[in-house]
Amino acid sequence: PATGSYKVSGGTKNSTGDYTMTWTVDFSSVNYTVVACAGPAGAGDSRWATTQPANASTCHVRSYDSSGATVSDVMIAAFGDQA
């Protein structure tokens, strides 16, 4: 999944639109922020992504389209104190 990354050691594709990202350097705690965007969307379609830091070293990301189907394109950024 990671085609361009900074401090991302890898990603696991759990299924289409469902990923677990692993950081090269852990965050100092689970109290960090991850933002995500799913796209690109076609005409009349919308897409979104949800994120949930699982722990200081991984984050779970899911992406969907307006029908609720999962989509494979997702971009993320994470912000917080690293260990």
Peptide bond between residue 53 and the one before it cis (omega within 30 degrees of 0) = no
pLDDT tens-digit profile of 4-18? 667 888 888 898 888
The predicted pLDDT at position 67 comes to 86
The predicted pLDDT at position 29 comes to 92
CA distance 46 to 59: 23
- The region that residue 54 occupies, defined by phi over 0 for left and psi between -120 and 50 for alpha, beta otherwise, is alpha
Taking all residues of the chain, what is their mean pLDDT, rounded to a whole number?
Answer: 85
pLDDT tens-digit profile of 15-32? 888 889 999 999 999 999
The predicted pLDDT at position 71 comes to 84
The whole model's pTM is what?
0.77
CA distance 30 to 58: 9
Half-sphere exposure of 4 (CA within 13 A, CB side): 5
